[in-house]
Amino acid sequence: MICWKVNFLDKIIISVHHEKRQSYGIILKSLVFFLILYYPVLVTHEIGHALVCVSEGGVPTLDVSLTGEGHGTCTPEPDNQFLYHISGGVFASVLSGILLILWRTIPNYVKIVSVTFATIQGINALIEAFANASYISDPSMRYIVFNVITFALFTGLLFLYIREPSTKSSSGFRNNIETMIHGLCSKCGNNNPKESVFCNKCGFNLK
């Protein structure tokens, strides 16, 4: 009968491989979901402005480029300028974060993207409302700054959640490894799944 050799290094290699697959998976899913929502979030931002414009009897126009730059106008200018300026970011922030109500059930990549867009749109709303002159004075710089902040926040959340899946699943993964080792040890004539067993023939301590 062939006796399989299982040692501590084997367990480390399998564990690291498992964690890398989880990390690559969450990165890929987050990027895809981010790209899917990027343009709709920009459109939602401009819709938020348009809703206030219409509510005051104005006629809105929306312009969102494929490069991610959005611009809207209202004719005539709305009386409540503060509400008009803040409405775009607030509306987009609320809709971006609506999935977070289901925090315990949604996957981590949805949390990462939703938190990123909800936060950046909230920041956008505050700057557009309280520093509107600076906000509209240099659209190119505004575009660069917000994209840098978005990238930094998105990347930070990715690093945070890349570590979480392996931590949460470590207990279950350990149980799977130990079950596999028990099976291998049983081939060597040592079958005791209920106790801590040092399998002399296989050379592995199960606890």
Share of the chain above pLDDT 90, in %: 50
In a domain, 112, yes or no: yes
What is d(CA 113, CA 157) in angstroms, rounded to the nearest whole number?
9
Provide the pLDDT for residue 70. Answer: 81
Give how many domains the chain has, as a whole number. Answer: 1
What is d(CA 10, CA 95) in angstroms, rounded to the nearest whole number?
47
Looking at per-residue confidence, does 92 or 175 come out higher? 92
Domain that holds residue 103: 8-205
Provide the pLDDT for residue 133. Answer: 87
Confidence of residue 182 (pLDDT cuts 50, 70, 90): low
Confidence of residue 204 (pLDDT cuts 50, 70, 90): very low
In a domain, 66, yes or no: yes
What is d(CA 206, CA 197) in angstroms, rounded to the nearest whole number?
6
In a domain, 31, yes or no: yes
In a domain, 153, yes or no: yes
pLDDT digits (tens, 9 = 90+) for 105-158: 999 999 999 999 999 999 999 999 998 888 888 877 888 889 899 999 999 999
Residue type for position 27: I
In a domain, 163, yes or no: yes
Confidence of residue 170 (pLDDT cuts 50, 70, 90): very low
What is d(CA 155, CA 113) in angstroms, rounded to the nearest whole number?
10
In a domain, 103, yes or no: yes
In a domain, 3, yes or no: no
pLDDT digits (tens, 9 = 90+) for 46-80: 999 999 999 999 999 988 887 777 888 999 999 99
* Lookup: tokens for 69: 């730059």
Residue 119 makes CB contacts below 8 A (sequence gap 6+) with 93, 153
